[in-house]
Amino acid sequence: MTQGLDGLGERLADYKRKREFAKWRAVYTISATTPSALAIRANAEGLASYAALCQAHGIVPIVEPEILIDGDHTIEQCAVASENVLHALFHSLFKHKVKLEYIVLKPSMVISGKKCATQATTEVVAKQTISILRRTVPAAVPTINFLSGGQSPEAATANLNAMNQLPGNPWNISYSYARALQDYCMKTWQGETKNVASAQNIFLERSRLNSLASVGKYTKELEKEKSTA
């Protein structure tokens, strides 16, 4: 489980002078025996305690329960783990009196493990993810900003787009990607000053595609236009 609650209140008092948001990440693996009930419960309590402390100091908590994409698990196994994790998380947030209107949820998508023989399609990922979210995440949560979790930039964008094309979502559904935004940019830059402008353009273009996906207006043809531009 993620640790670090000791002295967090004092640190937050200092952080408040420097920033408005904080993030706490808890990681879960999928195997025949994990995530265990103990790990789910302990991390839910840690995330909820952190969120309550943040709100007490006027800081918006980004709550990040990440189910790792590593492994050979099926999307169905990921759905079960995701539902258990999110159910426990929101139960703990309620117990700690966290105001859901003032959090950012940063979960992983419901997706097949990297080594799974059968990789779920974009449409299945979107439907499975939204289905689990509707079962577990109250409509009071204003925004769900997904992590990319090791997906390719194209897959992360396409999956986000497909979720935003499903009707009736009560939350804003957007992205908080790291690797899926930075991967091509960093590979282009390579620490060389001469590559800075090209790397910046690639980063800007990837951001534009994800912004389109966050309102359901991305298409795969835009990737082709980018590659031939």
Q: Spell out the long-range contacts of 224-228 with Cβ–Cβ below 8 A and sequence spacing 24 or more.
A: none
**14 three-class SS:** helix
Q: Catalytic: which of 18, 23, 45, 64? A: 64
CA atoms within 13 A on the CB side of 217: 5
Q: Catalytic: which of 20, 76, 106, 123? A: 106
Alpha helices, DSSP H, located in 96-146 = 122-136
- Close Cβ partners of 92 (under 8 Å, ≥ 6 residues apart): 44, 45, 47, 48
Cβ-in-10-Å burial (0-12, 13-18, 19+) of 73 comes to buried
Where do we find the tokens 């799974």? Answer: 116
64: annotated active-site residue:
yes
16: annotated active-site residue:
no
Q: Distance of CA 186 to CAs 95, 162, 196, 205, Å?
A: 42, 27, 10, 14
Task: Let me know: does 35 contact 79? Beta carbons within 8 Å.
Answer: no
DSSP class of residue 71 equals S
Task: Let me know: does 41 contact 81? Beta carbons within 8 Å.
Answer: no
Q: How is residue 4 written in tokens?
A: 């670090």
The catalytic site residues sit at 64, 106
